[in-house]
C-alpha cells in the first residue's frame, strides 16, 4: 500500500495534472467536457461477466482510474484545486439494451453527458444491440488519462478478457507486464519539501529563459476583434505519402526525428513571416520516465516549452539545434505548468486560470509516428478469442467551439498557432489552426507555403 492510500485528506495535483487543471478551468464549467473517449465495437458472442471483471481489474491495478475530485470544481474560474481522493472500489459497468440502428446515436448521447468528477473520472457503458453486437463506450477525464493510454488500455482489456474466458492458451511465452506505477506514490514523491524546493528553483530559471525567447510577447494580431468565444480557421499542412517517405529518409540522414523536421519547418516559416529570431514552441512529451510508467494507465504527459533560435543557419545546424532544444525541454516534464506560467505571465485579472498554450507562439501535436504519441491511437485491440472481433470507432461528443471564462484567456489562446499532424496510411494529414479574427488568413497561407518550401529543401522531389 502506498503512503497516500492510507490518508483521508485530499491529494494535491500531480505535476502532470497541473496543466490539465489550468486548461479545464479556462472554460465555463458547462463547456465541452475535457475528456478522452474510447468506443469499441465488439462482434461475436460476448461474456459480459468476463468483460466486467476485466474492467474492474484494470481499475483496481491502475490507481489514476480511481481518482475523483474531493469537491465540485464550481463556476468560479479562480477556484482553487479542490483536491482528489482515491476510491477504494472500481466503477460499475452499465449495460443498456439498444436497437441496432440506434447504437451509434446512443453512444454519442452518452459521450455528451459530462462525468460527475466528484464520483469518478471514468465511466464504462456497454450498449447491447443483440447477443452478438455490442458497443463498449469508455469515458476518461483528461485529469487522469492521456492519449498514450488508449493502446495500452485496449491491450489490457483484450489480455484480461481472454484470460477469463480461457480461450488464450497459456504457453508461458506471452508478454509479462510489470506492476503498474503507483500514481499516489508519484504525487507523494513530488510533495516532499526537497522536491518542491527544487521545482521552484528550476521553474524560476526556466521562466527567465522563456521571457528571453519572447514568451509573454505574443505574435501580433487584431486583439480588439477577439472576445470570449473563439473562432478558428485552418490552412492544410498535409504531406502526401511519397513525400513523407522522403522526409523520413531525410530526417534519418540528418539524424533527427520527423517531429524535429516538422517543428523546424513550422518554426522557420513563422519566424520568417513575423521577423523573429527566437520563438517558444509548445510540444508534448509522454512523460513516462520509468519502465513501470510505460505499463501504467494515467496522465503522465505534459506540455513543455522548447526555446528555438530561428535566425538563418545552415539546414543541418538548424535541425540539430531544434532537435537538441526539444530534447532539453523534455527534461521539464515534471515541472507543473502553473509554476512556470505564474513567473512569466501576469495573473489574469479575474484570478482565473492560465490558458495552457499561453507561454508559446506555436504548438505542434504529431501522432502516429515520432511525436509525443508514437503509436496508432486507432489500432484495434487484438482479442485472442477467435469468435470475438473488436474495432475501434471514432465516435465523439458533439463539438462546440471553446468559450473562455475571460477575454484575457481567449487572447492568450488566440496568440498561439496550433499545428496538428497525424501519420495515416503513410501520409501526414493535418492543418495549422488559428483564431481567424486575430490572425490574417493571407499571412497564415504564406506561412503554410514557407513550411512546404522548407520540407522540399530537406527532401527534394526525385
pLDDT digits (tens, 9 = 90+) for 404-416: 888 988 999 999 9
pLDDT value, residue 33: 64
Cα–Cα distance, 223 to 178 (Å, whole number): 51
Residue 207 lies in a domain: no
**pLDDT number for residue 166:** 77
Q: What pLDDT sits at residue 5?
A: 45
The answer to the question of residue 205 being in a domain is: no
**Claim: this prediction has a pTM higher than 0.85:** yes
| H or E segment to which residue 69 belongs | strand 67-69
On whether both 179 and 221 belong to a single domain, the answer is: no
Q: What is the pLDDT of residue 372?
A: 44
447 closest CA partner among 271, 220, 221: 271
Position 281 scores a pLDDT of 97
Residues 110 and 49 in one domain: yes
Cα of 81 vs its chain's centroid, Å = 20
Residues 164 and 294 in one domain: no
Distance CA 165, CA 47 (A): 8
Under 8 Å between Cβ of 269 and 350: no
Confidence of residue 6 (pLDDT cuts 50, 70, 90): very low
Q: How far apart are CA 407 and CA 70, in angstroms?
A: 29
Q: What is the pLDDT of residues 62-116, one digit of tens each?
A: 999 999 999 988 777 778 899 999 999 999 999 999 999 999 999 999 998 888 9
Cβ 247 vs Cβ 258: under 8 Å: yes
Do 277 and 367 share a domain, yes or no?
A: yes
Examine residue 163 and state whether it is found in any structural domain, yes or no: yes
Does position 435 have pLDDT exceeding 50, yes or no?
A: yes
Using the predicted structure, report yes or no on whether residue 170 has a pLDDT greater than 80. no
Could you list the residue range(s) of the whole structural domain that residue 145 is in? Answer: 3-185
The per-residue pLDDT for 448 is 97
Residues 123 and 171 in one domain: yes
Same domain, 321 and 281: yes
| For the chain, percent of residues with pLDDT exceeding 70 | 92
- Class of residue 427 by CB neighbours under 10 A (exposed 0-12, middle 13-18, buried 19+): middle
pLDDT classification of 203: cutoffs 50, 70, 90: very high
389 domain-assigned:
no
Helix (H) or strand (E) holding 417: strand 417-424
pLDDT value for 80: 87
> Tens of pLDDT along 179-201?
899 999 999 999 999 999 999 99
Q: For residue range 126-138, what is the model confidence (pLDDT) as tens digits?
A: 999 999 999 999 9
| β-pairing verdict for 417-424 and 362-367 | parallel
Asked which of 136, 164, 185 is the last residue of a domain, the reply is: 185
36 shares its domain with 143: yes
Taking only Cα atoms into account, the Rg of the chain, rounded to an integer number of angstroms, comes to 23
Mean pLDDT of 436-451: 96
Strands (E) across 132-225 are located at 133-141
Judge residue 133's burial from the number of C-beta atoms within 10 Å of its C-beta, 0-12 exposed, 13-18 middle, 19 or more buried.
Answer: middle
Least confident of 146-150, 260-264, 292-296, 393-397: 393-397
> By percentage, how much of the chain surpasses pLDDT 90?
68
- pLDDT tens-place string over residues 28-38: 876 656 888 89
Q: Is residue 390 part of a domain?
A: no
- Which of 441, 443, 442, 279 has the alpha carbon at shortest distance from 363? 279
The residue among 164, 185, 206 that closes a domain is 185
Confirm whether 383 is domain-assigned. Answer: no
Q: What is the structure's pLDDT at 373?
A: 47
Number of domains in the chain: 2
If you count them, how many residues does the chain have?
462
Cβ burial 289-298 (10 Å sphere, 16+ → b, else e) = beeebbbbbb
**Same domain membership, residue 404 and residue 255:** yes
Residues 371 and 103: their CA atoms lie apart, in Å, by 34
Residue 377 has what pLDDT?
Answer: 54
Tell me, yes or no, whether 387 lies in a domain.
Answer: no
Could you tell me if 65 and 120 lie in one domain?
A: yes
Question: Which residues, other chains included, contact 162 with Cβ-Cβ below 8 Å and sequence gap of 6+?
Answer: 168, 383, 384, 385
Q: Residue 37 is part of a domain; what is its CATH number? A: 3.30.559.10
- Any domain includes 201: no
319 with 409, same domain: the answer is yes
Residues 224 and 178 in one domain: no
pLDDT of residue 2: 46
pLDDT at 403: 86
What cell numbers appear for 416 in the block?
498561439
Q: Which carries the bigger pLDDT value, residue 372 or residue 423?
A: 423
pLDDT of residue 379: 62
Same domain as 81, residue 8? yes
pLDDT at position 153? 94
| Chain mean pLDDT for the chain | 89
Residues near 83 by Cβ (< 8 Å), separated by ≥ 6?
9, 10, 11, 12, 69, 70, 71
CATH number, domain with residue 346 = 3.30.559.30
Amino acid at each position: 500500500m502506498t503512503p497516500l492510500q492510507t490518508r483521508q485528506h485530499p491529494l494535491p495535483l500531480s505535476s502532470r495534472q497541473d496543466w490539465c487543471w489550468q486548461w479545464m478551468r479556462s472554460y465555463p464549467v458547462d463547456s465541452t467536457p475535457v475528456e478522452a473517449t474510447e468506443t469499441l465495437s465488439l462482434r461475436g458472442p460476448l461474456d459480459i461477466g468476463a468483460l466486467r471483471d476485466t474492467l474492474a481489474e484494470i481499475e483496481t491495478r491502475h490507481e489514476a482510474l480511481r481518482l475523483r475530485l474531493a469537491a465540485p470544481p464550481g463556476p468560479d474560474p479562480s477556484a482553487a484545486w479542490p483536491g482528489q481522493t482515491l476510491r477504494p472500489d472500481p466503477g460499475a459497468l452499465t449495460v443498456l439494451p439498444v436497437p441496432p440502428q440506434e447504437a451509434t446515436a446512443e453512444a454519442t448521447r452518452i459521450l455528451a453527458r459530462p462525468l460527475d468528477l466528484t464520483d469518478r473520472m471514468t465511466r464504462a457503458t456497454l450498449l447491447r444491440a443483440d447477443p452478438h453486437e455490442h458497443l463498449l463506450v469508455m469515458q476518461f477525464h483528461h485529469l487522469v488519462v492521456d492519449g498514450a493510454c488508449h493502446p495500452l488500455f485496449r491491450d489490457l482489456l483484450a489480455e484480461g478478457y481472454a484470460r477469463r474466458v480461457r480461450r488464450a492458451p497459456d504457453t508461458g511465452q506471452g508478454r509479462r507486464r510489470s506492476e503498474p506505477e503507483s500514481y499516489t506514490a508519484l504525487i507523494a514523491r513530488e510533495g516532499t519539501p526537497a522536491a518542491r524546493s527544487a521545482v521552484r528553483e528550476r521553474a524560476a530559471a526556466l521562466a527567465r529563459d522563456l521571457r528571453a525567447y519572447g514568451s509573454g510577447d505574443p505574435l501580433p494580431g487584431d486583439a480588439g476583434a477577439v472576445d470570449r468565444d473563439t473562432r478558428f480557421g485552418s490552412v492544410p499542412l498535409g504531406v502526401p505519402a511519397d513525400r513523407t517517405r522522403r522526409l523520413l529518409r531525410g530526417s534519418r540522414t540528418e539524424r533527427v526525428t520527423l517531429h524535429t523536421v516538422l517543428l523546424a519547418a513550422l518554426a522557420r516559416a513563422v519566424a520568417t513571416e513575423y521577423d523573429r529570431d527566437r520563438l517558444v514552441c509548445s510540444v508534448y512529451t509522454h512523460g513516462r520516465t520509468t519502465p513501470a510508467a510505460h505499463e501504467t494507465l494515467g496522465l503522465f504527459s505534459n506540455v513543455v516549452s522548447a526555446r528555438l533560435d530561428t535566425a538563418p543557419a545552415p539546414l543541418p545546424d538548424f535541425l540539430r539545434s531544434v532537435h537538441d532544444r526539444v530534447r532539453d525541454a523534455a527534461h521539464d516534464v515534471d515541472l507543473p505548468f502553473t509554476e512556470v506560467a505564474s513567473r512569466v505571465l501576469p495573473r489574469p485579472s479575474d484570478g482565473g486560470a492560465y490558458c495552457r498554450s499561453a507561454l508559446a507562439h506555436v504548438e505542434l501535436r504529431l501522432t502516429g509516428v515520432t511525436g509525443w504519441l508514437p503509436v496508432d491511437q486507432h489500432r484495434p485491440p487484438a482479442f485472442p478469442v477467435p469468435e470475438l472481433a473488436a474495432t475501434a470507432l471514432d465516435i465523439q461528443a458533439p463539438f462546440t467551439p471553446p468559450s473562455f471564462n475571460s477575454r484575457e484567456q481567449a487572447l492568450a489562446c488566440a496568440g498561439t498557432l496550433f499545428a496538428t499532424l497525424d501519420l495515416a496510411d503513410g501520409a501526414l494529414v493535418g492543418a495549422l489552426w488559428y483564431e481567424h479574427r486575430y490572425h490574417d488568413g493571407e499571412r497564415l497561407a504564406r506561412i503554410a507555403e514557407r513550411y512546404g518550401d522548407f520540407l522540399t529543401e530537406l527532401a527534394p522531389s526525385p
